[in-house]
Structures are given as C-alpha cells and as structure tokens.
Structure 1
Amino acid sequence: MELFQYTFFQNALTGSLLTAIVCGIVGTYIVSRRLVFISGGITHASFGGLGLGFYLGMNPILMAMVFSILSAFGVEWVSKTQNVREDSAIAGIWSLGMALGVIFIFLTPGYAPNLSAYLFGNILTISMTDIILITILAVMLVIVFLLFFHEIMYVAFDNDFAITQRLPVKTIEYTMMFFIAVTIVLSIRLVGIMLLMSLLTLPQITVNLITSDFKKIIWGSILVGFTGCVAGLILSYFLNVPSGAFIILVLVVLFLITKGILFFLHRQ
C-alpha cells in the first residue's frame, strides 16, 4: 500500500482513469465505424511530429498533435473528395509520418531524450500538465457525446441513414477525427506509439462480445480499460518492465478470459 502514497503513482492512476475515459468513448466510435486502420495511421503519423519537435527544440507532444490533426483531416478530405482509396491515403500518411520522424530524430543534435517513453509508453512519468490536458479532453468529449449522442451513433453505425436524416454528417466526421487525433497524442504517454492502437480497440471488442449497445460498450470499455491500466501499471512497477506493454498484455488476457467464459457458457 505504500506504493499508493507516492505522488508519481497517484498521477499515474489519475492519468489511467482519464485515459480510459477518453479512449473508451473515442475507441467505441472507432470500432463502430471500422476506423481501426485510420487510428493506426494517425498514431504512427504523430511520430513525425515528435521528431520535428525534438529537432526544433519545441514541445514534441504539441508538434505531434499538429501532425495528427492534419493527418486525420487529410485522410478524411483525400478519401472523400480526391477519389483516392481510404486505405491508400492511410498507408501514405502512416509511412510519411514514420519516415519524417526517423529523419528529424537523426538530424537532432545528440540523442533525443525520452524517445523510448513515446514509443513504448511509461505512464509513471506522466506530469500534472498531461493530466490537466487529458482532463480538458475528457470534459469536452463527455459534453459533446451528451449533446449529440444519437447523431454520433447514427453516423458511426449507418452513414447513409444519417445522410437521409439530414444530419451534419461531415461536421460530425471531422469533429470525431479531431478528437481521435487529440486522444491518440495525449495517450501516447500511457502505452506508446507502438501499442496505442490496441488501447483504442481491445476494451471495445472485449465488451462487444457481451453487448452490441453503443452506450453500454462505452461504459464497459472505460471499465475494462481502467482495469487493464491499473493491473498493468502495478505489475510493471514491481517487475520493472515497460508499463505500456504490460497494460496491453493485461487487456489481451481479459479479452481471452471473456471469450473463454462465453464459449464455456455457450457449450453448456
């Protein structure tokens, strides 16, 4: 119990809860709209922003956010207006972001500090500034979903139906792409670029085994995500291994256990 008295661990728990909330909300939209590949492209494109931030001596998270938002809007615009297949546009920004990141980091004098924390995650290093930013994002997401829940759900499940109902589909799509990009960047500290896509999908597909209700998937994803974060965080601390990898490992185990229980019950 002494572990919970440390400020850095309290910050890590707070960051885990807030990240579970934003990833639970945004991830449910991603899985429902089958945007998993897009989230992976945006995640890896943010690496270019990190590299540019290191090279210019600026805040790497800020530059990664700019890269992510532009990449998200770029994919949406190119795939909808320029007759370019969505998967091709995603592959392009995925490769471009990683390539630019490698080049900028190589050109940066000396060694880029804390690079492994961005690639593989280390929530034990989360700062109060990170917590404040994630809190602001969580509040914004909750407000938007409370006000426009049904409109977002219609767009997520049936885009054509939403259009026939004369809903502002494009506005909703671009707004959600903005939130996806910001969520990805602010969650990098937790599990890192390499594993972040799993945090946005594993809790959702685990809960989706039990229910198909959009609202229940959001609540269930938050619970599963936070459970995975706390368990992975504690285990990684005592075993002295990267927290991001252990968080994802715990989420995979939770998925397999849920799948196994449902399979057993179905056989009965």
Structure 2
Amino acid sequence: MEILQYDFIQNALISGVLISIAAGVIGTLVVVNKITFLTGGIAHSAYGGIGLAIFLGIPVLFGATIFAVITAIIIAIITLKNRSRIDAIIGMMWASGMAIGIIFVDLTPGYNVDLMSYLFGSIIAVSSEDIVYMSLLDIFIIAIVLFFYKEILAVSYDSEFATLRGINVKFFYTLILILSALCVVAAIKAVGLILVIALLTIPTYLAENFASKLSTMMIISSILATMFTIVGLIFSYFYDISSGASIIMVAVVALGVVKLIKYKK
C-alpha cells in the first residue's frame, strides 16, 4: 500500500480505471460487430494525429482524437460502399497514418521525446490534465451508448432487422467506429497504439463466457479490464517492466487460464 503515496501511481490507477471502463464498453461493441480489424486500423492511423499535434504544439491527445475521429468517418464511408476491399483499405489507412505521424515528428525542430511511449504505453506518465481529458471521453462514450442503447443493440446483432425497424444502420455503424476511435485515444497512455486492440478484445472474449446480454457483457468487460490494469500496474512497478506490456500479458494469462478450465470441463 505504500506505493499509493506517490502521485504518479495515483494518476496511473485513476487513469487505468477510466480507460478500463471505456475499453469494456467499446470493446464489447468492437467484438460483437466484428470490427476488430477496422479498429486496429483506426488505432494505428491515430499516430498521424500524434505527429501532427507535436508539430503544431497542441495537446497530443487532442490531436490524436481529431485525427482518429476523421479516420473513423473515412473508413466508415469507404467500407460501407466497398466492403469487398476492406482489408486493402484498412492496410492503406494504417500505413499512411503512421507515415504522416513520423514525417511530422521528423519535421518538428528540437523534438527528442521518446515516441515509443505512444506505441507501447506509459501509464505512469499520465498527468492530471490527461485524467481530466479521459474522464470527459468516458462520460461522452457512456452517455452516447446509454442514449442509443436500443439502436446500437439492434444494429450490432441484426442489421437487417434494424433496417426494417427504420433504424439508420449506416449512421450507427459510423457512430460505433467513432466511439472506438475515442476509446483508442483514451487508451494511448495506458497500453499504446500497438497493444490497444488487446485491451479492447480480451476482456470481452472473457466476458462472453459469463454474460448473455450486451449490457451485462459491457459491465463484466469493464470490471475485467480494470482488474487486468491494476494487476498489470503492480507487476510493472515491482519488476520494472513496461506498463502496457504488463497489463496485456496479465489479460492474456487470464484468458489462457479460463480457456484451459473450460477445456478441462
């Protein structure tokens, strides 16, 4: 308990809980709608926003948010019109986003901060401003999901039925991608752009074993993500390893244990 006296540990725990809540809610939508690959493309494209923010001298999370949301809208528009080429489109967005980010960082004079923290996470470097930003993103994500829950539920499980009921499937498909983009940005400081998909999907894969409703799955996913984040932080602190990698490995081990128990039964 003595480690809680440090401000950076307190910030890490608070941000970890905030990120886990968002990851549990949005991760459920990502898995149910089978858009994991699309979300991965958005995550890596957000690197372009990081580079642009550094070049312009604006807050990194703000720049990443704008870039990620724009990328999500573009991906939604393109994939709705041409689903047969989703893999090529995502690959293009993925690579171009990261290339843009690297170019802008290279063009920024005198910038020498380690960019690896954005790729693999550095939750112990979270500031009070980052926590406020994450809190606002959490509130927005949860408010949107609660307000449109019935429509999102219908679109996620049966888009044809949703269309017959007069629900604008294209709008809610785009909305889910935008929410995924916001969640990705919130998780950048915790696990980084490379590992964010694991944090979004592993808790949901586990939650599927214990939940039969979308709302229950979201709650269980959030709880599991929080547990993985806290345990991962503890391992990271005491063994001096990367926080992002530690969090994800805890989640992977938990998933492996659950699957092994199910196999034995």
Contact 1:122 1:190 in 2 (8 A): yes
Contact 1:23 1:200 in 2 (8 A): yes
SS at match of 2:223: helix
Residue by residue over 1:220-263, the C-alpha shift from the partner in whole angstroms, topping out at 9 and shown as x without a partner, is: 11111001000000110111111000000000011011111112
SS at match of 1:110: coil
**223-232 vs 75-84, greater mean Cα deviation:** 75-84
Q: Residue 148 of structure 1 aligns with which residue?
A: 148
Residue by residue over 1:22-61, the C-alpha shift from the partner in whole angstroms, topping out at 9 and shown as x without a partner, is: 1110110000000000111001001111112222333222
The total of aligned residue pairs comes to 265
**138-147 vs 177-186, greater mean Cα deviation:** 138-147
Contact 1:203 1:251 in 2 (8 A): yes
Q: Residue 22 of structure 1 aligns with which residue?
A: 22
The separation in 1 between residues aligned to 2:6 and 2:83, in whole angstroms, is 54
Give runs of ≥4 in structure 1 deviating > 4 Å: none
Contact 2:39 2:177 in 1 (8 A): no
The one-letter code of the counterpart of 2:23 is: C
Structure possessing the higher relative contact order (Cα contacts under 8 Å, 6 or more residues apart): 2
Against the structure 1 CA distance between its residues 84 and 127, is the aligned structure 2 distance closer, same or farther, given a 3 Å change threshold? same
Residue by residue over 1:59-103, the C-alpha shift from the partner in whole angstroms, topping out at 9 and shown as x without a partner, is: 222221121111100011112236772222211110101111222
Pair 1:97 & 2:97 matched: yes
Aligned identity (percent) is 35
Contact 1:54 1:112 in 2 (8 A): no
Pair 1:67 & 2:34 matched: no
Q: CA deviation at 1:203?
A: 0.6
Against the structure 1 CA distance between its residues 53 and 150, is the aligned structure 2 distance closer, same or farther, given a 3 Å change threshold? same
Gaps of 5+ in 1: none
The separation in 1 between residues aligned to 2:222 and 2:92, in whole angstroms, is 31
Equivalent residue runs for 1:109-188 within 5 Å? 109-188=109-188
The separation in 2 between residues aligned to 1:84 and 1:256, in whole angstroms, is 33
Against the structure 1 CA distance between its residues 3 and 148, is the aligned structure 2 distance closer, same or farther, given a 3 Å change threshold? same
Q: Residue 10 of structure 1 aligns with which residue?
A: 10
Contact 2:80 2:170 in 1 (8 A): no
Contact 1:44 1:98 in 2 (8 A): yes
For the aligned residue pairs, the C-alpha RMSD in angstroms reads 1.6
Pair 1:48 & 2:48 matched: yes
When normalised by structure 2's length, the TM-score is 0.94
Contact 1:209 1:259 in 2 (8 A): no
Residue by residue over 1:183-233, the C-alpha shift from the partner in whole angstroms, topping out at 9 and shown as x without a partner, is: 111210000111111111111011213334212211111111001000000
Q: Residue 88 of structure 2 aligns with which residue?
A: 88
Contact 2:207 2:221 in 1 (8 A): yes
Contact 1:64 1:185 in 2 (8 A): yes
SS at match of 2:148: helix
Q: Residue 201 of structure 2 aligns with which residue?
A: 201
The one-letter code of the counterpart of 1:222 is: S
SS at match of 2:193: coil
When normalised by structure 1's length, the TM-score is 0.93
